[in-house]
Structure 1
């Protein structure tokens, strides 16, 4: 028996269709109840309870009690990263669902990948930040440039605090629908939080879907084109 982590056990847990649907539902970053997850998976509450217990025991889920309800969420961004990667492989190899919901085009445009922006807009921003000199990508990976640090600080993101945390500051996260990377890591989360607070983005209820508001369209379009003019970007929706 070889040494090292047992990836087969984790893969088997994720590979069950019902459990995969429940984990995918938690990619929104929001905590959901067992009943909500059972609905997402199309199974009974009793069956969902057994699946959730296995996922908790494996360390893939966290649970918090509030009143009469228990709320489940992914145990960390690394779990979301694995799920997004598997979605990318499934899309690339043609393992697509035969029934697509009406929200699919919207999800491809802009969605939450656990705690950062994904989809077409996420990829466009990543490319704009590289073109505008905020980020650098080389053989060592993705990093924040001195100019990018100054610009993000000017926009209200505490880069020093983010860099002092245990989580990587910035990480290239492969987007399953665009097949190109979007911005993850602590900076990706902080950027999404900023855009939501400014009213440039709006989250749909109980969904990974993100709506880009008209003011957000203007700001994100500038960033996507590599335009780092700070003062217009600081405008709010009022």
Structure 2
């Protein structure tokens, strides 16, 4: 008699949650790291609010989303960094098959902006994220040869730069996240989140519109050039 792996049922349930385009659209939108209202997600996914409510209920019950209520508004966000990692890793695997030509100038512009720089849940991605990761590695602050790990010099650099790592829970300090546009890893984990948060708070980057795209400011170019040797051309 064959004994069934106890993870079988859980894996099947997870696959079922992801096997719907409306739910997939919501999960990808929430990779910007922010909480969205149900109405915003319904408009984004192009479905009725009543239809989306059922989908959100399944995602919350399945542990992929967390729900918050403020007054009459219902907000949802990705449950945690592990849920975000799962969505981003799966999206990176299917990106080459996404195919299709952009439908217009707006879509081309949005795609170009996201490729230059964006947030991947709570860390930097795109050419910006890879350039920052390369800068940390070139200066001996991050090791990639045996998996991602901050060196002692890297820990000192974060402290000297005033970037608190906030090491809580079981989240890894540094983790490689495959960038779906660059096809190379960028820095994730607690260190990646702290660096992204600092970049936004210090005005090194600003968000573009309501999506995940970010743009490096003139102050950010100077700071990243001085601190990590990142050339401005790599950020534009």
> Same-fold call, TM > 0.5?
yes
The partner residue of 1:149 within 149, 155, 165 is: 155
Alignment partners' CA distance in 1, 2:155 and 2:217: 26
Deviation (angstroms), 1:15: 2.4
Structure 2 residue aligned with 1:119: 126
Which sections of structure 2, spanning at least 5 residues, go unmatched? 232-236
Please, what TM-score do these two structures have when normalized by structure 1? 0.87
Q: Secondary structure at the match of 1:103?
A: helix
Structure 1 residue aligned with 2:90: 86
CA distances 1:166-213 after superposition (whole Å, capped 9, x unpaired): 211111111111110111011111101111111110123421111110
Structure 2 residue aligned with 1:197: 201
The partner residue of 2:62 within 58, 64, 72 is: 58
Would you say the 8 A contact 1:88–1:174 is kept in 2? yes
Q: Secondary structure at the match of 2:192?
A: helix
Deviation (angstroms), 1:136: 1.1
CA distances 1:19-51 after superposition (whole Å, capped 9, x unpaired): 111111111111011110011111111110110
Aligned ranges for residues 1-238 of structure 1 at < 5 Å?
1-4=4-7, 6-92=10-96, 94-99=97-102, 101=107, 102-139=109-146, 141-159=147-165, 161-162=166-167, 164-223=168-227, 225=229
Alignment partners' CA distance in 2, 1:165 and 1:10: 24
Structure 2 residue aligned with 1:231: none
Aligned length, in residue pairs: 223
Deviation (angstroms), 1:223: 4.9
Which sections of structure 1, spanning at least 5 residues, go unmatched? 228-238
Q: Secondary structure at the match of 1:138?
A: coil
Deviation (angstroms), 1:158: 2.7
Q: CA RMSD in A?
A: 1.8
Q: Secondary structure at the match of 1:70?
A: strand
Alignment partners' CA distance in 2, 1:127 and 1:223: 12
Q: Secondary structure at the match of 2:41?
A: helix
Would you say the 8 A contact 1:129–1:223 is kept in 2? no
Deviation (angstroms), 1:222: 4.5
Deviation (angstroms), 1:62: 0.5
